[in-house]
Every structure is written in structure tokens, then in C-alpha cells.
Amino acid sequence: MLRGDIIRYVDMTIAEGQNLQRGMNFNVTNRGYSVILMSVRENAPYADKMTDDGRTIIYEGHDVQKNHAPTGADVKTLDQPYKTPNGTLTENGKFFDAATAYKNAPESIARVVKVYEKIKDGIWVYNGFFYLTDAWTEKSDGRMVFKFQLEMIEDDETAVATGEPEPTVLELEHNRLIPTAVKVQVWKRDKGCCVKCGSNTNLHYDHIIPFSRGGSSSMPENIQLLCASCNLKKSDHIE
């Protein structure tokens, strides 16, 4: 899987070997990393954002579960929880403690987090691997919320997961995050289909002019939808 791959929810569950019913999933079983589901689209439930051309994510923690809230309470008015009512850590707490441990021992390796982004109902994009480097709480609309900072891992994603060196040219070309607004605009313009063959499956956001040759990730004119087959054919011409 490469950054920019467009996937369905079921594809994520297959890839991770479990249901991802929560937006925060600490230590996915037998994977060696954690998973977050994010969104910066309009009316998204949490205030996630991207900075540094997508290399940094500021991810907002999650609200108290409705079954843990007082009867009739609006969870959006309650402080986001560090622990559950029975005293165990919430996902907020687990991610917070992991980030704090890294900050207190920066010579250690930060927690690796795999990021999926929702851009429209039913449409998700794989954003790659990030390091969890910081966490804090801040006041927002009269309550305390968690914030988590994640920094893009620039290396080949396969190397991150398996320890194998040397990213391929194609992997390097896809190692650039495309802004959400551009993804949404390109999806609408290309009508959710490969611009070469018209397929609506196995799609990927592709740079028309490769990033290594000066192509922009922030201009819709330089981004198109390609299916896996057409994307592979194009990669054969990248020198």
C-alpha cells in the first residue's frame, strides 16, 4: 500500500486484521504500530489538521464514550478522558503516555502510527506512517481536549514495517502527501474513475509531473486519479 491509495473501510479492516471501529487504535494486534483514522473535511467531528505540506498532523483526541457519560449529557461539552470510569487508560491515555515517554527520552524511537484519512463518506485515503512525537491538553470551547503531534516518516514504508532498506523510485514518488482539499477537488473532477481507462477500483492519487521533477502536490492540475494497472504502466517511464 502506498500513500495516496484510495480504499474502502473494508480494505482497512482486511489490511489491519481487525475492525477499526474507533478512530484511535493503540497497538494494532501483531502489527507493531498503532492506527488512527482522521479527517479534516468540513463538519468533521474532531479538529484534526495538517501542517508543513502534510508532513505534520495535529490530531485531536476522542470524546468520552456515550455509555460513560452522565445521562443526557452532551459529550462535546465534557473534557476528553484520560481514563475510563473503571480506571483503565482510554485510547487518549495510551497515546498520551506513549508520546510523553518519547519526549522524556528523545533518544528512544517514537511510536509508529499508520494514518488513514476520510475525505468523503465511503472514501478513505491511506496517508502512510508517522511518528507520534508530542501530546498535550488544551482548552477548546470551554472543555479540555487532547492534541497529538505526528511527524511523517519520509523513508520507504515497507522499510518501516519490515526493516528492508532502499525505497524504490515509485515509492519515493508517492511519498508526498496531497492536501485534502486537492484530493476532494480531483475526486470530483475525475468523477471517481481512472483518467486513463475509466476504472473505479484500485484507485490512487497520482502526480502527473513527478514530485522529483518539480511537480506540485498542492495544485489539482498536477494530480489525477489512476488505477493500479495504469499507475504501474506510468511508473515504468519514471527515470
Question: How does pLDDT run across 167-201, given as a tens digit for each residue?
Answer: 444 444 444 578 888 888 999 999 999 999 999 98
Q: Where are the domains of the chain?
A: 6-167, 178-239
Closest CA to 111 of 33, 163, 55, 37: 33
pLDDT in the model for residue 237: 56
For residues 94-133, one letter each, b for 16 or more C-beta atoms within 10 angstroms of the residue's C-beta and e for the rest, the string is bbbebbeebeeeeeeebbbbbbbbbbeeebbbbbbbbbbb
Q: Are the C-beta atoms of 163 and 155 separated by less than 8 Å?
A: no
pLDDT in the model for residue 171: 44
- Interacting residues of 160 by C-beta distance below 8 A, sequence separation 6+: 112, 129, 153
Q: Is the predicted pLDDT of residue 161 greater than 60, yes or no?
A: no
CA–CA separation, 208 vs 196, rounded Å? 12
pLDDT in the model for residue 86: 95
More confident residue, 211 or 111: 111
Q: Whole-number mean pLDDT of the chain?
A: 86
User: CATH for 178-239?
Assistant: 1.10.30.50
pLDDT in the model for residue 168: 43
What does DSSP say about strands 56-60 and 143-152: parallel, antiparallel, or unpaired? antiparallel
Return the percentage of the chain with pLDDT > 90, whole number.
53
Q: Is the predicted pLDDT of residue 29 greater than 90, yes or no?
A: no
End-to-end Cα, the chain, rounded Å:
21
CA–CA separation, 58 vs 47, rounded Å? 8
Class assignment of domain 6-167?
mainly beta
More confident residue, 181 or 138: 138
pLDDT in the model for residue 124: 92
pLDDT band at 48 (very low <50, low <70, confident <90, very high): very high
pLDDT in the model for residue 107: 85
**What are the strands, taking DSSP E only, across 98-141?**
111-120, 123-140
As to burial, measured by CB atoms within 10 angstroms (0-12 exposed, 13-18 middle, 19+ buried), residue 23 is: buried
CA–CA separation, 25 vs 38, rounded Å? 12
Q: Is the predicted pLDDT of residue 52 greater than 50, yes or no?
A: yes
Q: Are the C-beta atoms of 195 and 214 separated by less than 8 Å?
A: no
DSSP string, 149-191: EEEE--S-HHHHHH------HHHHHT-SPPPHHHHHHHHHHTT
